[in-house]
Amino acid sequence: MDLFNMIGKVKEVQEKMKIAQEKTGLLRAEGESGGGMVKVIANGNRKIMKIEIDDSIMDDREMVQDLMVAAVNIALNNVEEKIKESMSKSMDGVIPNIPGLDLGQFLK
């Protein structure tokens, strides 16, 4: 491969990464705990967008705290998986499939 082809490939990867980053921000994932008593929605920027808490558990502060932590962690794990899938699709054919390469790490 000559130098010009390599530079072109790098530019292509940069463009695809930029587009992938923009798309990632639009991703949404939900996490819930306590059988749905607490629901959390996170976006692809790893920010919590919404928290819903069932009124029936509001009297038990400790339970609410525990369920919130669990739901937030589940939502963030779920959105992380969506980010990996999205990045993999965006880079398909541009970057060779290397086992263990996590393209989502470039969006943090």
Closest CA to 82 of 22, 29, 6: 29
Mean pLDDT confidence for 66-74: 98
- Residue boundaries of the structural domains of the chain: 3-95
Residue 23, both tokens: 């798309």
CATH topology of domain 3-95: Ybab; Chain: A; (3.30.1310)
Q: What is the pTM of this model?
A: 0.73
The DSSP annotation for 77-106 comes to HHHHHHHHHHHHHHTTTTS---TT--GGGG
Q: Does pLDDT of 91 surpass 90?
A: no
Of these ranges, 17-26, 36-45, 85-94, 96-105, the one predicted with the greatest mean pLDDT is 36-45
